[in-house]
Amino acid sequence: MRIYSLFVYVFLYTPIAIIALFSFSAGRSASQFEGFSLKWYGRALDNPFVMDALANSLFVAFVSATLASILGTLAAVGLQGMRGPARAFFDAIIYIAVMIPGIVIGIATLIALVTVFDVVNPWLANIWPEGREPPALTMGRPSLIAAHTMFTLALVVLIVRARLQGLESALSEASADLYAPPMRTFRLITLPLIAPAILAGFLLSFTFSFDDFIIAFFVAGSETTLPIYIFSSIRRGVTPEINAIGTMVMLASLVLLVIAQLILRRSNKR
């Protein structure tokens, strides 16, 4: 049994180790190791396409994770006090958001937005003052942020709600009994108690958005995110440079997740 488990760990980590190993190869070939070198890391960091894609990914991940944390937390807290069909409807939508495959979310967002833009753009051109270039809505960063926020917002609602359900209502009831206005109770009692869940939700949302390929593939328009760059490069053949990028991305996700775990664990112990 022990040996079996060891095999499974080898299975889990060999591919990751191979990518990391080949990223240090000095040679041009991606399949033969020709001496240790860090040059592909330098090459990747000097590549303007990579840096552009990275900047896009970071920006989109940061904005959508922030929006999702705020909207998701508000919704989770508001839902606590709601009953009846409205609540059931909202729960159903959250459930759908998590269950529907990413690829269907991607195509649905693509055709819905393109159709809406086709209607709105001529109308915008019509009402725009003469002589000035009318704005044209296209797929790009904003549409990608909107799509990622939708999905990650559902995740934040689930995480924060789990935390809220574990809280003792006695605390906020005591606060209300002592005549604290509701906003004050929320700010001084509820918010500090759910803060770890919000932060964990933010970090998970950030990681999801940063790693997402399939939704971005449809919704990003002419923009390139890092996963899209990696995917299209692999299509042309694996290079040591891609391995270097992959290793850096894996390390970054890892650090974020360790932080999220530490925060959640510490708050659960309290």
Partner 1 sequence: MTERERNWLMVAPAGVWLLVMLVLPLSVVLIFSFGERAPAGGWVPAFTFEQYANLPARLTAFQNTLTLAPLGTLAALIIAYPLAYQLAVRTDPRWKTILLVLVIVPFWTSILIRSYAWIYILGGQGLPALLEIFGIEGVRLIYTPFAVTVGIVYGYLPLMVFPIYVALDRLDKRLLEASSDLGAWPLTTFLRVTLPMSISGIATGCMLVFILLMGEFLIPALLGGGKVFFVGNALVDLFLQSRNWAFGSAVAVMLILVMLVTVTIYMRLIARLSATREDVSIM
Residue 254 is a binding residue for partner 1 (CB under 8 A): yes
Answer yes or no whether residue 14 interacts with partner 1 by CB under 8 A.
yes
Site string for partner 1, 51-70 (x = CB under 8 A): --------------------
Indicate whether 164 belongs to the interface with partner 1 (CB under 8 A).
no
| One residue of 155, 218, 223, 241 binding partner 1 per CB under 8 A | 218
Q: How far is the CB of 209 from partner 1 (least distance, A)?
A: 12
Query: DSSP labels for the chain?
Result: -HHHHHHHHHHHHHHHHHHHHHHTB-SS-SSS--SB--HHHHHHHH-HHHHHHHHHHHHHHHHHHHHHHHHHHHHHHHHHT--HHHHHHHHHHHHHHHHS-HHHHHHHHHHHHHHHHHHHHHHHHHHSPTTSPPP---SSHHHHHHHHHHHHHHHHHHHHHHHHHHS-HHHHHHHHHTT--HHHHIIIIIHHHHHHHHHHHHHHHHHHHHH--HHHHHHSTT---HHHHHHHHHHH---HHHHHHHHHHHHHHHHHHHHHHHHHHHHHH-
Confirm or reject binding of residue 199 to partner 1 (CB under 8 A): no
Under the criterion CB under 8 A, does residue 213 sit at the interface with partner 1? yes
Q: What part of residues 34-53 is at the interface with partner 1 (CB under 8 A)?
A: none
Q: Does 158 bind partner 1 (CB under 8 A)?
A: no
> According to the binding rule CB under 8 A, does residue 147 interact with partner 1?
yes
149 is a site residue for partner 1 (CB under 8 A): yes
Residue 198 contacts partner 1 per CB under 8 A: no
Q: Which of 9/36 has CB closer to partner 1?
A: 9
Q: Which of 44, 50, 54, 75 is the binder for partner 1 (CB under 8 A)?
A: 75
